Amino acid sequence: MNPSLLRLLRPLAVPAAILLTAAIAAGTSPSLPHSFSGLSVVGPYVVLLLGAVISAWFNRSRAFIMLASLLAAYAAWGLASDLAAKTFALRAVFTSLAILVPLNVLLALSFPERGVRQHRNYRWLLLGLAEILLVFWVANAGRSALSGIAWHDVLNHWLLRSPPTPVAGRLLFVLALVAAVVRTWPRSAGKELRKEPRPLDIGIAGALVAFFTACEWAQTTGAFGAFMSAAGVILLVAVLQESHRLAFRDELTGLPSRRALEERLPGLGPTYAIAMADVDHFKKFNDTHGHATGDQVLKLVGARLAEVGGGGTAYRYGGEEFCVLFAERRLEEVLPHLEQLRQEIERYEMAVRGADRPRDIKTGTQRRAGHAGHPENALSVTVSIGVAESDATLMKPTLVIRSADEALYRAKRAGRNRVMR
């Protein structure tokens, strides 16, 4: 399989496995011993509550909003099933949760991720309280003069008839799923580097599928709880994966971070080579063209380093410095790949976004085609590379890195844009 396609499909494996497990559990309906029978009811509460707590702890607002919505929906469904089975109240609760959960997700996806602890976050709390009061009002239609009976006619409208999931709920589900998929769709960062989908974006899309399946199978014993649990597990795993990604991957370049390198070093065998690469005149790029251009330079170099041959793995070491680790490779084996990497970076001309350049790609293309007075500034980037290998005197990775760093400074003193050992 194409490595790029495999990299894009890999994040889908966990949600798919969880959904498959939930489908098997709902289809086979295994009977638990009497002493454990409560797990099928309590389990979803535990998963959804745990996911909401961890999302709040890691300050992930979209995951928290969805998990809180799912938890409230499951609690409302359970309460209505126990107190008002096969009545208008149960139908009203089902219709409300099938509409409000995807609506909340759609609203959360419409705003930037600002974290759970954000300015004016009370608005989400007020929205949640308003939704709870609305569901309570609708579910009690006909029981008092205050609630009235108008909701009976409203819920008989073809858009709101249920079960299974009402048409309005399906439409909102489709909109929310499209919004989630758009966020997961890989997009280029700079001109070269293509980012993998974020685990949390994949998790939200997977949890939406699990919730919709739960609504469609709400009348099947155990299916609703199984798929609500699946939605909670998908989001919980996604939050943990996202936190791991933020800890071990550099956000700007997409490369593994220095922390990921330090985790890898203790597991190396006796044979390996390490290269340290530094962008030449990087301070000049920043001072002359601004930090935005400096970020473009780092993205470019990171994209090229990510494609280094010879079995090397590139890491963002810090600032404009990168590290390339060649496990189980000798120095002579990696030198040709490093030299090829240096040449590819040198040959690449980077177009700098001018201050008056339009953000719209089509408008920018038309301007360049029709107006010669707005040329793009092209910059050429070079790197200096120092490399060392493990041997009898350099037995620890830290010593090999230090030796590669010394070789890097020799390359700088010798005129830059070269590989030295």
| DSSP letter for each residue of 241-284 | HHHHHHHHB-TTT-SBBHHHHHHHGGG--S-EEEEEEEETTHHH
User: Which pLDDT value is given to residue 371?
Assistant: 45
Beta strands in 186-253 (DSSP E): 188-189, 193-194
User: Which pLDDT value is given to residue 240?
Assistant: 92
d(CA 130, CA 144): 20
Across the chain, which has 421 residues, the per-10-residue mean pLDDT values are 60 88 77 52 90 92 94 92 79 93 94 76 86 90 74 88 86 95 67 63 94 90 88 95 87 89 90 94 82 86 90 92 94 93 86 53 48 56 93 87 94 92 89
User: Which pLDDT value is given to residue 142?
Assistant: 73
Contact 241, 209 (CB under 8 A): no
User: Which pLDDT value is given to residue 133?
Assistant: 92
d(CA 69, CA 48): 9
d(CA 330, CA 354): 44
Contact 100, 131 (CB under 8 A): yes
Contacts of 164 (CB under 8 A, 6+ apart): 215, 216, 218, 219
Give the pairing type, strands 419-420 and 383-389.
Answer: parallel
d(CA 317, CA 321): 6
Considering Cα of 265, then 269, then 270, then 276, what sign does the dihedral take?
negative
List, for residues 137-152, the tens digit of each pLDDT value.
888 887 776 666 888 8
Question: Is 320 a catalytic site residue?
Answer: yes
Q: Which residue has the tokens 């979803």?
A: 44
User: Which pLDDT value is given to residue 409?
Assistant: 94
Which of 320, 328, 389, 406 is catalytic? The answer is 320
